[in-house]
Chains A and B, each alone.
Chain A
Amino acid sequence: MSGPAKFRNNVKISERHGAGEWTIERVALALLMPLGVWIASTGFTLSDAGYEGVLAWFASPLNAGLLIVTTVAFFTFVSLAWKVIIEDYIHAPVAKTLAIGGLNLVFLTLAAVSVFLIVRLALGSAPLPAGIGA
């Protein structure tokens, strides 16, 4: 499966990618802490903003950029968090693989759709379905 066991501070280092996933999950969560507060403050400012006000908010590259970072960090985190939860409760190999794979597919789709919509709004594109349909 792998080479001889490696140690750091007399603790065996993860043989495969488990420790890397653990670290990525923490980094994503750490990013989401300040971004979560920013989302709350954004919700507060946009709560009484009309359509034009919301468009003006998205037109700022800082807002759109931070929202894309939030989206990517969020779906990275929930994908790994759901994997941990599923591995704790679903033990049948096929069901486990299907559940993790299926959820990852859903999260990947949601992340892609979000980034697509944010970029469109940031660029001031005409309202949908212009460009993809009618």
Chain B
Amino acid sequence: MSSSPLPGDASNDPAADRTGRFVRQPNGRVRPLSPHLQIWRWHVTMTASILFRVTIGAISVGAVIAIGWLAAVAFGPDAFATARTFATSPFGLFIGFGLTVVLFSFVLNGSRHLFNDTGNGLTLKSANLLSNIAVWGPIPLAVLFWVVLFATGRVSL
């Protein structure tokens, strides 16, 4: 980390800066603009990181759906039958498939995150491998899950 600017670099003084490297944050403070999407080359580790945040958002919605099902069970046979009719409709099955993708994504990406949190798997090779598993793994797993559901006759269209 070099602390002094290289020759030719823009000034680090916001008042003298004419390069637009400084931005006013929403809280009113003037800060240098961080290197961002167009400066860093896209990498699968970034996809995995962003997808984990998306997954956390999606699984929060999924939890609300799950609690809705829980409430349907608790409200008795009629409510349960209504929930079941919806769940086995084509749209319900589509939502169900999405929920399994999200669940597998949460488990795979969460495992990657926990493993990286212990300081492991951070070499270029293993970080790429773990990220690729976390990004792509949920899709074949969810497809397999639903193929078995249909094959064993538990679910049908």
Q: Which of A2-10, A13-21, A110-118 contacts B (4 or more CB under 8 A)?
A: A110-118
Residues in A with CB closer than 8 Å to B106 are 32, 36
Q: Which of A54, A90, A91 lies in contact with B80, CB distance below 8 A?
A: A54
Question: CB of A69 within 8 A of chain B?
Answer: no
Residues in B with CB closer than 8 Å to A117 are 67, 70-71, 73-74
Q: Is the CB of A78 within 8 A of B149?
A: no
Q: Is the CB of B53 within 8 A of A85?
A: yes
Q: How far is the CB of A110 from chain B (nearest CB, A)?
A: 6
Residues in A with CB closer than 8 Å to B110 are 29, 32-33, 36
Interface size on A, residues (CB 8 A): 37
Contact with B along A7-41 (1 / 0, CB 8 A): 00000000000000000001001101100110110
Residue of A nearest to B142 (CB): A40
Q: How far is the CB of A34 from chain B (nearest CB, A)?
A: 9
CA distance A85 to B103 in the complex (A): 19
Interface size on B, residues (CB 8 A): 36
Residue of B nearest to A34 (CB): B107
**Secondary structure dominating the interface of A:** helix
Q: Is the CB of A40 within 8 A of B76?
A: no
CA distance A25 to B24 in the complex (A): 32
Question: CB of B26 within 8 A of chain A?
Answer: yes
Known: A48-B155, A92-B26, A127-B74. A33 touches B60 (CB 8 A): no
Residue of A nearest to B81 (CB): A51
Q: Which of B25, B70, B107 lies in contact with A37, CB distance below 8 A?
A: B107
Residues in B with CB closer than 8 Å to A51 are 73, 77, 80-81
Contact with A along B102-133 (1 / 0, CB 8 A): 01101100110110010000000000000000
Q: How far is the CB of A114 from chain B (nearest CB, A)?
A: 5
Q: Which of A40, A47, A58 lies in contact with B155, CB distance below 8 A?
A: A47
Q: Which of B60, B67, B149 lies in contact with A44, CB distance below 8 A?
A: B149
Question: CB of B1 within 8 A of chain A?
Answer: no
Residue of A nearest to B76 (CB): A127
Q: How far is the CB of B28 from chain A (nearest CB, A)?
A: 9
Residue of B nearest to A32 (CB): B110
Q: How far is the CB of A69 from chain B (nearest CB, A)?
A: 15
CA distance A118 to B155 in the complex (A): 25
CA distance A32 to B113 in the complex (A): 13
Residues in B with CB closer than 8 Å to A92 are 26-27
In the complex, the 6 A-B pairs of residues with the closest C-beta atoms, listed nearest first:
A127-B76, A48-B154, A36-B107, A117-B74, A47-B154, A91-B26
- A residues whose Cβ falls under 8 Å from a Cβ of B: 26, 29-30, 32-33, 36-37, 39-40, 43-44, 47-48, 51, 54-55, 58, 74-75, 78, 81-82, 85, 90-93, 110, 113-114, 117-118, 120-121, 127-129
